[in-house]
């Protein structure tokens, strides 16, 4: 499980939150521009990596990136092939895809209400430096989200961004005062219908100058907080119609005060986004000491699952015509009609764990073998014997979104999973 701040995971629709930094988890559903800026904090080598990445994305419409730049057999690298294969897919840039449709609907809200003042970035390179991903947004040095268990490291100083907040500082330094950043983000995590190691976020950021808040008689922070809430309530109405909403106080390292917005949808309080008034330190470091700003981050899959009635997060990655053909550019209200649900098949696996065992590592190994055929991995038994040895039993649910799986196929998968778990995790099967 993604421990993150953990502050953990949005309560939303029971979808994993897009938030690394919230604490709650699983109480409910519970993510153009310049490839990188010259002022970016990436090293020259990283920039070369990014350039190659972006160039291949531009040239090939998406997927061909030099693999050994991103996946290397080296202890500082934990990016598996399955993750590499997602780089450059850019679901958020497909106008007929639910993620792209949702992005465009949010753009429409900001364009209409702020007369296109917000600069839009949706092609920023997902390979970023540790500094961009963590330091620039004041994530403490010992924060769990920095661990190899939670984040994909390309090398000790480069990660696959785990949130779009990674771009706040560079865009501020480039002089942007109103911006939206949409992109794919990457997190090592557990497996279920609402969790996938790649998902999409949109970040919003707005800077105010003293002549904006001074006439209001409010202090700068209250002024920004009030404006933020008004703006995001309007966005929620734009997406969901006339809904009931509530604000929850929370914590993020990069904002103070910090809030989450929840909306009442189909009899559940659904967490929609995290936001707050930007820490002054971030503005100060990036050339805006006399300003105040607000920021928000929202997970697009989570919202799209609710808005389009999509039951499993893996579907977003499906190339099946029966999925893809159901959505139309510009149409937010379309409800997905499942093309029959194929039966799941469950396989259990018990082993003695060791000190370095983590569930995220287990899930990575299972995904490496079974890919999107694995629907859920859940711990169903956990005990420690008198000798102090701890046993875990996991239930793996295999199910294809697209077809029935044969017994033989599942047995083969399970056999390979057992072998890989043994080899790679050094556990002892029971
Ligand atoms: N980056 C946060 C996350 O992934 C989401 C977020 C929260 C972004 C608050 C923001 C913000 O810009 O102000 O968990």
- Name residues whose C-beta falls within 8 Å of residue 258's C-beta, 6 or more positions apart in sequence: 249, 250, 251, 252, 274, 275, 276
CATH class given for the domain over 345-429: alpha beta
Note the pLDDT tens digit of each residue in 258-283.
999 999 888 889 888 999 999 999 99
> Measured from the CB, is residue 203 less than 6 Å from ligand 1?
yes
Which sign does the torsion angle of CA 299, 110, 177, 262 carry? negative
Rounded Cα distance, 393 and 381, in Å: 5
Q: Note whether 229 and 257 are within 8 A (CB).
A: no
CATH architecture of the region 44-307:
2-Layer Sandwich (3.30)
DSSP per position, 327-380: --TT---PPP----PPPPEEEEEEEE--TT--HHHHHHHHHHHHGGGEEEEEEE
Supply the residue whose CA is at minimum distance from atom 2 of ligand 1: 19
Q: What is the pLDDT of residues 95-144, one digit of tens each?
A: 999 999 999 999 999 999 999 899 999 999 999 999 999 999 999 999 99
Of 274, 323, 369, 339, nearest to 81 by C-alpha is: 369
pLDDT bracket for residue 377 (50, 70, 90): very high
Instruction: Report the 3 state secondary structure along 366-418.
Output: HHHHHHHHEEEEEEEEEEECCCCCEEEEEEEEECCCCCCCCHHHHHHHHHHHH
pTM: 0.88
Residue with the bigger pLDDT between 1 and 429: it is: 429
252 lines ligand 1 (CB under 6 A): yes
Mean pLDDT for all residues in the chain: 87
Asked if 224 and 277 touch (Cβ cutoff 8 Å), the reply is: yes
Both structure tokens of 158: 């480069």
User: Which residues, 6 or more positions from 303, have their beta carbon under 8 angstroms from its beta carbon?
Assistant: 102, 239, 272
Q: Name the residue with the closest Cα to ligand 1, atom 5.
A: 297
225 lines ligand 1 (CB under 6 A): no
Q: Is 278 in the pocket of ligand 1 (CB under 6 A)?
A: no
* SS3 at position 227: helix
Percent of the chain with pLDDT over 90: 80
Whether the per-residue pLDDT at 363 is higher than 50: the answer is yes
Expressed in angstroms and rounded, the spacing between residue 129 Cα and the centre of ligand 1 is 18
Q: Is the CB of 274 under 6 A from ligand 1?
A: yes
| pLDDT greater than 70 at residue 323 | yes
**In angstroms, rounded to a whole number, what is the distance separating the alpha carbons of residues 289 and 282?**
9
The arrangement of strands across the sheet holding 428-429 comes to 374-384, 390-398, 345-352, 428-429
The domain ranges of the chain are: 44-307, 345-429
Closest CA to 313 of 30, 107, 80: 30
- Residue 14, ligand 1, Cβ within 6 A: no
């Amino acid at each position: 499980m993604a421990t993150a701040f953990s502050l953990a995971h949005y309560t939303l629709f029971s979808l994993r939150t897009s938030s690394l930094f919230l604490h709650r988890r699983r109480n409910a559903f519970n993510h153009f521009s310049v490839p990188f800026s010259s002022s970016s904090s990436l090293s020259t080598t990283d920039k070369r990596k990014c350039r190659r990445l972006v160039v291949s994305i531009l040239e090939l419409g998406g997927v061909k990136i030099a693999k050994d730049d991103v996946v290397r057999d080296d202890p500082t690298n934990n990016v598996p092939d399955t993750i590499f294969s997602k780089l450059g897919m850019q679901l958020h840039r497909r106008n007929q895809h639910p993620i792209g449709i949702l992005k465009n609907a949010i753009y429409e809200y900001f364009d209409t209400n702020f007369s296109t003042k917000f600069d839009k970035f949706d092609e920023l390179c997902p390979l970023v430096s540790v500094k961009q991903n963590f330091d620039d947004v004041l994530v403490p040095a010992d924060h769990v989200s920095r661990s190899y268990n939670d984040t994909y490291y390309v090398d000790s100083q480069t990660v696959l961004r785990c949130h779009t907040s990674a771009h706040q500082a560079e865009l501020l330094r480039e002089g942007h005062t109103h911006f939206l950043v949409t992109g794919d983000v990457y997190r090592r995590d557990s497996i279920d219908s609402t969790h996938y190691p790649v998902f999409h976020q949109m970040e919003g950021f707005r800077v105010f100058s003293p002549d904006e808040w001074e006439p209001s008689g409010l202090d700068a922070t209250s002024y920004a907080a009030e404006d933020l809430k008004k703006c995001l309530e309007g966005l929620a109405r734009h997406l969901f119609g006339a809904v009931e909403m509530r604000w929850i106080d929370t914590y993020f390292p990069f904002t103070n005060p910090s809030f989450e917005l929840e909306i009442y949808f189909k009899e559940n309080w659904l967490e929609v986004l995290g936001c707050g008034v930007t820490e002054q330190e971030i503005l100060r470091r990036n050339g805006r000491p006399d300003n105040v700003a607000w920021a928000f981050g929202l997970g697009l899959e989570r919202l799209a699952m609710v808005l389009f009635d999509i039951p499993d997060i893996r579907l977003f990655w499906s190339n099946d015509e029966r999925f893809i053909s159901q959505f139309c550019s510009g149409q937010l209200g379309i409800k997905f009609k499942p093309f029959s649900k194929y039966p799941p098949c469950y396989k259990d696996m018990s082993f003695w764990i060791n000190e370095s065992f983590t569930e995220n590592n287990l899930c990575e190994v299972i995904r490496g073998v079974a890919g999107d055929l694995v629907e859920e991995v859940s711990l169903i038994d956990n005990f420690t014997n008198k000798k102090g040895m701890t046993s875990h039993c996991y239930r793996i649910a295999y199910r294809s979104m697209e077809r029935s799986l044969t017994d033989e196929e599942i047995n083969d998968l399970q056999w390979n999973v057992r072998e890989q778990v043994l080899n790679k995790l050094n556990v002892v099967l029971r």
